[in-house]
Structure formats: structure tokens, C-alpha cells
């Protein structure tokens, strides 16, 4: 197992285009670590620099106490699993898995032992004589994983490995990959744009956007305590709601006000804001499950207009319009229904998040 450390790593492409900006990370021994973000955020560039497929522009990459900046990919003892399988379609499953071992000049007996170990580990022994071109997508992905783990790499890199599978297959493969990692214990970097995938699988997540690291933490930490507005909006399904408002102090109590509402913040939030000297125009953020809905006026509630009601089986999503024409999503009970333009009444429950307008950092964490 290997500790992977990135120190102030940059990737600058031709034309001074910044792909990754000043990225520092530490991935622990045996950790399943996800790089999460939208297309173009720098996660795949980071993975390719770790693998040695891209030269870093500045910074350092360490495997334990070995600086690998100038090592070729084959010298780093890493293995990659790709989205597009990268298999040889006219070779058998056995030969696809054996291919990297043959390149290393291993004996046939050692190759056979390792290939059969990987196949048995993945439950694909019966596929070994078959040609890859006749396999299903899930089977081909298993072969790709077999070819990666047969080398027993120091670091296993996975680049969107199941994004092309249909929803039911993806859910099953998530479980299988987590179990695979638990058994292997290999330090693993998992790149994905799917926040549900990252939340379900990873020990920790690094959220990236526009080449910059936004936050590192456990799935619970990045969900409960987003450091930036981007993280708050990107993590969670349905996403966090946002509303522009003003932060005011009245006799030591802090409120956020907008054309739609006036909300008193908790004493804990007020304490964190006591020495805040920034712009009083802020963005309130609140998750759909932290909003209560009443069909009648009640203390602490404010009115909103129903836009649409979306039954989803185990829950219903209610879309409402605030007075400022901001659209909010709310999780309500499965049997909830209200017609369009009906007035309902909302209450914001803790945790409430506040983000400044310039850096969009969370003022409460």
C-alpha cells in the first residue's frame, strides 16, 4: 500500500490554459479517494499526472517517500481502469488480463497463476476462454479491472469506470467496486462527475471546479459543511437552494432578509458572524430536506407559490416560487399534493448556510 501526496501541483497547457491550479492532496494507505467535479474541472488531468501520462508543470508528486515527477508510467507501478475499457476485442479474456504481465517478461506459470487469481477474485473464471468482443458492458469492465489488479499495483487509478453503464448496472457495480477495494486494500483514486457515486463509494472526496480544489472531506463532511457555494450546490440531489439576501444585526441578533422572508439565525451562527466585516449582501443556502411546509399560516413561516409537484415514489419534490421569483425545491411526503399557484407556507430549519458574494465561501464553517 502507498501514501500518495501531491504538493502544489499545476498543469498549464499550451496557450497558458490552466488545467489544475496549485493542488495539494494526501491520499492515505489503502484509501478509496474520489476526485469529483464537472467536466473540465481538472480531475482527469490530475489522474493522468499521477499516472505519468501528463507531465506536471509545477509541483511534486510523491509515492510514499519517492518523488515520481520524472518517472515514466511503467516505473510508477500504477494501474488504470478506463471508461472505455481499452481492451483488445479479438483476444480472449485470459490474454487481455495476461497482457501487462507478458510485457513484464514473466514466466507462463507465473502469468497463469496471477490471471487465474484475478479471475477468481472477480468471479469471471468462466469467461477466461471467451473473446472480449462478445461480452456485456459489465463483463468487459470486470475484465478491465482484472487487467489492472493482476499487476498488484501500488496505486489503482479509475477514470469514470462505470459512467457508461445503465442505472441498475451502475448501482450494482458501485457495490462490487467498494467490496473489491475492501478486499484488495490498494490505495485507489476514483474520478467521477457523479456526486451520488462519490458519496456512496469514497472514504473521502476532493471536490474540484475550474482546476481548483474546493474542499476535501468525508462524504458527510462535504454534505453537511460545504466550504463553498459550489460544493453546496454540486453535492446533494436534489441540490441546495440559494437565495440572495441581506445580513443584518439587530441588537446582537443576526437576521437574513429578502423580499420573501426575514429569518433569525441561531445563536451558534450569530457567534460565528460576530466579527464579520464583509459585504452584507450574501447568498443563503438551504437543502430541500431542511424546509418545512404548511398549508396554513403559522408562526415562523412565510408564503410561497406552488410551481409544480413531482411525485417520485418514496418522496415528492415540491417546486415553489418565492416573492423574489427564486425557485426552491423542497422534499415533502410521498402523498403530498398542492395544485399550481396554491399558496403554501415555508419554514427554514437548521442547518442554514451563508455564502459571501465574492469568494462564495461559507461564512458559518
For the chain, the structural domain boundaries read: 4-234, 241-356
The listed CATH number (3.40.50.2300, 3.40.50.300, 3.30.470.20, 2.40.30.10) that belongs to domain 4-234: 3.40.50.300
> Domain 241-356's class?
mainly beta
pLDDT per position as a tens digit, 160-197: 888 777 777 778 878 888 988 888 899 999 999 999 99
Would you tell me how many other CB atoms lie within 10 Å of the CB of residue 130? 15
What DSSP character marks residue 84?
T
pLDDT per position as a tens digit, 108-128: 999 999 999 989 888 899 999
Q: Which residues contact 275 (CB under 8 A, 6 or more apart)?
A: none
Q: Which of 353, 147, 173, 364 is CA-nearest to residue 274?
A: 364
Angle between helices 137-149 and 93-103 in degrees, nearest 10 = 20
- Helix, strand, or coil here: 246? strand
What pLDDT does residue 325 have?
87
4-234 and 241-356 share one CATH topology? no
This model's pTM is above 0.85 = yes
What pLDDT does residue 188 have?
95
Angle between helices 93-103 and 108-122 in degrees, nearest 10 = 130
What pLDDT does residue 85 have?
66
Distances 213 to 24, 27, 191, 207 between C-alpha atoms, Å: 8, 14, 14, 6
- Helix, strand, or coil here: 75? helix
What pLDDT does residue 149 have?
86
Q: For each successive 10 residues of the chain (365 residues), what is the average pLDDT?
A: 95 94 97 96 95 95 96 90 78 91 89 91 90 84 86 90 77 84 91 94 97 97 97 94 94 91 92 89 96 95 96 94 92 94 96 94 93
CA gap 266, 297 in Å, rounded: 22
CA gap 361, 210 in Å, rounded: 16
Residues linked to residue 304 through DSSP beta bridges, in sequence order = 344
What pLDDT does residue 55 have?
94
What pLDDT does residue 340 have?
96
Q: Using alpha carbons only, what angle is made at residue 200 by residues 198 and 202, rounded to the nearest 5 degrees?
A: 55
- Burial status of residue 340 (CB atoms within 10 A of its CB: 0-12, 13-18, 19 or more): exposed
* DSSP per-residue codes, 269-288: HHHHHTT--S-SEEEEEE-G
What pLDDT does residue 58 have?
96
Q: Are 139 and 124 in contact (CB under 8 A)?
A: yes
pLDDT per position as a tens digit, 282-293: 999 999 999 999
Q: Are 143 and 134 in contact (CB under 8 A)?
A: no
% of the chain with per-residue pLDDT over 70: 99
Amino acid at each position: 500500500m502507498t501514501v500518495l501526496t501531491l504538493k502544489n501541483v499545476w498543469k498549464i497547457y499550451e496557450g497558458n490554459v490552466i488545467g489544475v491550479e496549485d493542488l495539494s492532496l494526501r491520499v492515505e494507505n489503502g484509501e478509496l479517494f474520489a476526485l469529483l467535479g464537472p467536466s473540465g474541472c481538472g480531475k482527469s488531468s490530475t489522474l493522468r499526472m499521477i499516472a505519468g501520462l501528463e507531465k506536471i508543470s509545477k509541483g511534486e508528486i510523491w509515492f510514499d517517500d519517492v518523488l515520481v515527477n520524472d518517472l515514466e508510467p511503467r516505473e510508477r507501478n500504477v494501474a488504470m481502469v478506463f471508461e472505455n475499457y481499452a481492451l483488445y476485442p479479438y483476444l480472449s479474456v485470459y490474454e487481455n488480463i495476461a497482457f501487462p504481465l507478458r510485457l513484464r517478461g514473466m514466466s507462463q506459470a507465473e502469468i497463469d497463476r496471477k490471471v487465474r487469481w484475478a479471475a477468481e477474485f472477480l468471479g469471471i473464471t468462466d469467461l477466461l476462454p471467451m473473446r472480449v468482443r462478445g461480452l456485456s458492458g459489465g463483463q468487459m469492465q470486470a475484465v478491465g479491472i482484472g487487467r489492472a489488479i493482476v499487476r498488484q499495483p501500488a496505486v489503482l487509478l479509475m477514470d469514470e469506470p462505470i459512467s457508461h453503464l445503465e442505472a441498475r448496472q451502475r448501482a450494482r457495480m458501485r457495490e462490487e467496486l467498494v467490496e473489491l477495494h475492501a478486499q484488495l486494500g490498494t490505495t485507489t483514486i476514483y474520478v467521477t462527475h457523479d456526486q451520488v457515486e462519490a458519496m456512496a463509494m469514497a472514504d473521502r472526496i476532493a471536490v474540484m471546479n475550474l482546476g481548483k480544489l474546493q474542499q476535501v472531506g468525508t462524504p458527510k463532511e462535504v454534505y453537511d459543511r460545504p466550504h463553498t457555494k459550489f460544493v453546496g450546490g454540486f453535492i446533494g440531489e436534489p441540490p441546495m437552494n440559494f437565495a440572495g439576501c441581506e445580513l443584518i444585526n439587530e441588537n446582537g441578533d443576526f437576521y437574513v432578509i429578502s423580499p420573501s422572508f426575514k429569518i433569525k439565525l441561531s445563536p451558534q451562527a450569530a457567534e460565528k458572524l460576530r466579527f464579520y466585516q464583509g459585504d452584507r449582501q450574501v447568498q443563503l443556502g438551504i437543502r430541500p430536506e431542511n424546509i418545512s411546509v404548511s398549508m396554513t399560516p403559522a408562526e415562523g413561516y412565510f408564503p410561497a407559490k406552488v410551481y409544480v409537484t413531482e411525485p417520485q415514489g418514496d418522496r415528492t419534490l415540491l417546486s415553489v416560487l418565492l416573492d423574489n421569483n427564486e425557485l426552491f425545491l423542497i422534499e415533502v411526503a410521498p402523498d403530498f399534493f398542492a395544485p399550481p399557484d396554491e399558496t403554501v407556507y415555508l419554514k427554514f430549519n437548521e442547518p442554514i448556510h451563508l455564502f459571501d458574494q465574492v469568494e462564495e465561501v461559507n461564512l458559518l464553517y
